Copies of this chain bind each other. A is one copy, B any other.
Amino acid sequence: MNAKLQELKARLAEVDDLNHANAVLGWDQQTYMPPGGAPARGRQMSTLARLAHEKFTDAAVGRLLDDLRSYEESLPYDSDDAGLIRVTRREYERSTKVPAAFVGELNEHSALSYQAWTEARPANDFNRMRPLLEKTLDLSRRLANYFPGYDHIADPLIDFADYGMKAADVRRVFGDLRAALVPLVQAITSQPPANDDCLKQHFPEDQQRAFGETVIKAYGYDFNRGRQDKTHHPFMTKFSLGDVRITTRFNEHDLGDGLFSTLHESGHAMYEQGINMDYEATPLAGGTSAGVHESQSRTWENIVGRSRGFWEHFYPRLQEVFPDQLNNVSLDTFYRAINKVQRSLIRVDADEVTYNLHVMIRFELELQLLEGTLEIRDLPEAWHARYQSDLGVTAPDDRDGALQDVHWYGGIVGGAFQGYTLGNIMSGLFYNAALQAHPTIPAEIGQGKFDTLHGWLKQNVYQHGAKFTASELIERVTGGPLRIEPYITYLKTKYGELYSL
């Protein structure tokens, strides 16, 4: 058995090497690559992806998984070996159901569509994207149909990102959340908006970067096993458990942009850095779902990084860095500014309270597109109509409307968005559980100390990597299923105080 397991691990390491080499190529593409490198880079990345898929779906992997079944069954469910075999089998079965030729077709189309979107969005040209998006939708449906037996055609696509969730589950959770959010948004926006002028002054990039890196070092992001570079669209990427990088961008006229982007990505990165090093080069060495991943970026960006206690410690330090800009701005004013709630057009700029409404709009539109109850040609109008009804605002064009997010234009339609809101909900769940175990956490945050919270998250979430599913993690931590209440309570408490509701 040991020999079989070693052979499986060797094959998985080879696949992992190809995938992480590809991640290096992708990182370089978005940080440092000169324009002339683009054509070959696309081909190189596609070759590595194809070879990784070929190696992972090799029939020999399937035979090893079969041979190892009795060994797996002899082990406790939570043993590392059992987890490795279980998660590998799940991914193997998923990967082998999709023909390699289809994967190639999808990747090629995605690259084409993404390239077109980078030009069509600034040009506000939805018509250019329409035939491409129609093909993407067709490919997304075909992809889903390699997994027959679903209740809703979106189910297999949601399952890719958030294993175990179905469209009906997400709709139910989102419905409950919406019922709580709408009156909260109503109550807040009936008051005068917070003044965030203090964030819109001139903040030189170098100081912004230095301050942000000071914060994430204090969080526990390990710069010996990572680094931060500049990019157009911030992201986290991993080349190994010893090299988990983040990127950010800076707007010298908006302090919040770069700072909260850095805190957000550091949360994703600390999750990956916290994974058990024994899982290196196996399918266990990654976050377990889009939702759990997002829960950690949102924890460190919002629950911690936009909290009053955090800024009681860090605001005097920020004032030292930017005395001209902030010495006349009170902590209260600053705290209200970074938590300004408003009905707005852009998801990635949205505040904590309205953010989920942006996600729900996209999720519902995805389902309708996949069901066929909405045609691509009607998407721009449907987008505007939903924004008007749900958020009371309408974009002046498609650039900030149906062309806003890259997800449909650089990937598939389906499963791309629910993770953001599931992540918010889970951030409330996990943070609440951490507080119950360690009631001193808020006081420590007020002193700029994060070890207790970070340690609890490592112990209960990060170290496990992909060994447990999201719902297993939640069950282990809270003794029950996914619940929205802690997150709602968090929002109501924080914003109730801020707006004296």
Using a CB–CB cutoff of 8 Å, the interface residues on chain A facing chain B are: 13-14, 17-18, 20-22, 24-25, 28, 32-41, 43-44, 47-48, 51, 222-227, 229, 239-243, 245, 280-281
Contact = CB atoms under 8 A, between A and B. Distances in A.
A25 B48 CA distance: 13
A20 B17 CA distance: 15
A270 to B, nearest CB: 14
Contacts of A229: 32
B281 A34 contact: no
B36 A20 contact: no
A334 to B, nearest CB: 33
A33 B43 CA distance: 24
A141 B417 CA distance: 59
Contacts of A44: 17, 20-21, 239-240
Given A28-B28, A43-B13, A281-B43, A243 B21 contact: no
26 contacts: A13-B47, A14-B47, A17-B44, A21-B24, A21-B25, A21-B47, A24-B25, A24-B28, A28-B28, A32-B227, A33-B243, A34-B223, A34-B224, A34-B226, A34-B243, A34-B245, A36-B224, A36-B225, A39-B240, A39-B242, A40-B239, A40-B242, A40-B281, A43-B281, A44-B239, A51-B51
A463 B25 CA distance: 27
A280 B39 CA distance: 11
Q: Is the interface of A mostly helix, strand, loop or mixed?
A: helix
A245 B25 CA distance: 14
A222 B43 contact: no
A270 B429 CA distance: 57
Contacts of A32: 227, 229
Nearest to A51: B51
Contacts of A25: 21, 24
B38 A242 contact: yes
Nearest to A223: B34
Nearest to A14: B47
Contact of A37 (B34, B37, B38, B225): B225
Contacts of A35: 224-225
Contacts of A33: 243
A338 to B, nearest CB: 30
A280 B242 contact: no
A109 to B, nearest CB: 20
Contacts of A227: 32, 34
A247 to B, nearest CB: 12
A13 B51 CA distance: 13
B21 A21 contact: yes
A283 to B, nearest CB: 15
B36 A243 contact: yes
Given A25-B24, A51-B51, A280 B34 contact: no
Given A36-B226, A224-B34, A227-B34, A240 B41 contact: yes
A17 B280 CA distance: 25
A320 B166 CA distance: 67
Contact of A243 (B41, B223, B281): B41
Given A17-B48, A48-B17, A40 B240 contact: yes
B20 A40 contact: yes
Shortest 3 CB-CB contacts between residues of A and residues of B: A40-B240, A37-B243, A36-B225
Nearest to A243: B37
A460 to B, nearest CB: 23
Nearest to A227: B34
Nearest to A38: B242
A100 to B, nearest CB: 14
Contacts of A48: 17-18, 21
A18 B37 contact: no
Given A20-B40, A34-B242, 10 more contacts: A24-B28, A35-B225, A36-B222, A36-B224, A36-B240, A40-B239, A40-B243, A40-B280, A41-B243, A44-B240
A350 to B, nearest CB: 32
A227 B37 CA distance: 11
Contacts of A18: 47-48, 51
B36 A242 contact: yes
A11 B392 CA distance: 56
Contacts of A40: 20, 239-243, 280-281
A40 to B, nearest CB: 3
Given A24-B24, A25-B24, A32-B229, A17 B37 contact: no
A43 B44 CA distance: 19
